[in-house]
Amino acid sequence: MVNGAAALALAPAAAKAQAVQVSASARAVHNRLMCLDTHMDMPANLARQGWDVMTRHSPDMDMTQVDYPRMIEGGLDGGFFAIYTPQAPLTQEGMNAMRDAAFLRAAEIREMVAAHPGKFELAFVPADAARIAAAGKIVVFQSIENSGIIGNDVSLLRSFYKLGVRMAGPIHFLNNQLGDSATDKKKWGGLSPMGRDFVKLANDLGIILDASHSSDDVFDQMLAQSRAPIICSHSGCRAVHDHPRNLDDARIKKLAAAGSTIQINSYNEYLIDVPPNPARDKARRAVFGKMENLDKMTPADAARTLKEMAAARVALDKQYPSPRANFEMFMQHVYHALDLVGPDHVGIGPDWDGGGGVTGMEDVASLPRITEQLLKKGYKESQLANFWSGNTMRVLGKVVAARKA
């Protein structure tokens, strides 16, 4: 995933949002299951003036993909809400700024829950998820995307654990002090020495290590070092689409053999070839640069700006047409992973509000389509229960069991 201007510069406009058509029987199965998403970037929207998680939005309206009404509509019981921080220069000043922003984001997630105690509840262990979902509330686990926020002090991971974080990916788009990114040039050859300390501490605390965005070397080294399963919270299959953010079959099998799961992403550029187009990228940056200022605008100005940007995105995509993946292409990754390792080792992390979304699955309200397709493929409800949450809760349970208090 990626947020803000960068994400939108990459993501083509969502097609016109339409009510998702799903058979009543598929929807009934879907609604019976506890459905969790392992990577949602929605928390980035919480600080936007006038943006209310309790209001139904749409991609056309303000380009967002997750809010409470759409979670209910999509039968999503919750999941991991990301504390995502864009990479700053790895100077002391840049690292401080990332750290400070991350603490504020963590507080904002907790504020969202505190503001709506009847709708959301913080979760820390698998039993919490079961209880909260049974009570009809959204299960709010917290995760970190880009653990470069800890600067030069690995022990800061403890502060985030204390705040409730139970999953953390060391790296994002660029190499950082913890190791190499899947989308950057090799620098460390995997984890840095600090990255190894990070893995050890995450194990000791009971935080799931998330290898999405990490280089293959980092994946291998984390898997080898970690005494509990690691996860890929939002990654696809390289055998379906050859992109470094996707996992090859051998690694998907290793993940499964270690008891874990690959959670399939719906990020356009990991699903389909998008030829470089500097003119388009420049035009998009000009439009989406305003996103950075949204937090400081009045609610009315922010809403108006977002609406303008949503319209501009449609216009830009007409002016500079570029390929956009569709639901079927996303499902090919799901099917491939299921064929390869079975329903106990696959789930979803579509990267909502972080650049995810495909034609036919524009936001979280579309999730029942996945269940419908998997039922058509012959998967049983008990298998889908694992796909939708059993697998990730099994991983969390193992990570908690392996912690050193």
Residues that bind a copy of itself (CB under 8 A): 92, 96, 99-101, 103-104, 106-107, 110-115, 117, 153, 155, 158-159, 161-163
Rank residues 103 and 320 by Cβ distance to a copy of itself and give the closer one. Answer: 103
Nearer to a copy of itself, 140 or 337 (CB): 140
Q: How far apart are CA 302 and CA 293, in angstroms?
A: 9
Sign for the CA dihedral angle at 293, 294, 300, 306 comes to positive
Question: What region does 259 belong to: left with phi over 0, alpha with psi -120 to 50, or beta?
Answer: left
- The length of the chain is 405
In whole angstroms, the minimum distance from the beta carbon of 105 to a copy of itself comes to 10
Closest approach, Cβ 68 to a copy of itself, in A, equals: 15
For residue 237, give every residue at least 6 positions away whose Cβ sits within 8 Å of its Cβ, in sequence order, or none.
246, 247, 249, 252, 262, 264, 333, 336, 337, 340
Q: How far is the CB of 59 from a copy of itself (least distance, A)?
A: 27
Alpha carbon 210 to chain centroid, angstroms: 11
Q: Determine phi and psi for 96, rounding to 5 degrees.
A: -60, -45
CB nearer a copy of itself, residue 34 or residue 44: 44
Dihedral in degrees, nearest 10, Cα atoms 102, 361, 263, 71: 60
> What minimum distance in Å lies between the beta carbon of 94 and a copy of itself?
12
In the complex, the smallest distance separating the C-beta of residue 8 from a copy of itself, rounded to whole angstroms, is 25
**Which residues sit opposite 121 in a β-bridge?**
139
CB of 96 to a copy of itself, least distance (A): 5
Cβ closest to a copy of itself, residue 113 vs residue 364: 113
Question: Shortest approach of a copy of itself to residue 116 CB, angstroms?
Answer: 9
Contact call for residues 143 and 168 (beta carbons, < 8 A)? yes
Report yes or no: 57 and 67 within 8 Å, Cβ to Cβ: yes
Which parts of 168-277 fold into alpha helices (H)?
Answer: 193-205, 216-225, 249-257, 268-271
Choice between 150 and 211, CB closer to a copy of itself: 150
Cβ closest to a copy of itself, residue 161 vs residue 198: 161
Q: What is the largest CA-CA distance in the chain?
A: 57
Written as six digits, the tokens of 193 are 């020495």
Phi and psi for 355 in degrees, rounded to 5?
A: 110, -5
8 versus 139: smaller Cβ distance to a copy of itself: 139
| Minimum CB distance to a copy of itself, residue 311 (Å) | 31
Give me the least distance between CB of 398 and a copy of itself, in Å please.
24
What is the rounded end-to-end Cα distance, in angstroms, of the chain? 32
Instruction: Give the residue among 143, 208, 146, 211 at the shortest CA–CA distance from 174.
Output: 146
Task: Using the minimum distance from each CB to a copy of itself, give the nearer residue, 158 or 196.
Answer: 158
Cβ 142 to a copy of itself, closest distance in Å?
Answer: 11
- In the complex with a copy of itself, the residue whose CB is nearer, 21 or 155, is 155
Task: List the alpha helices (DSSP H) in 116-248.
Answer: 126-134, 156-163, 193-205, 216-225
The nearer residue to a copy of itself, 144 or 310, going by C-beta atoms, is 144
Instruction: Yes or no: say if 133 and 34 are a contact pair by the CB < 8 Å rule.
Output: yes
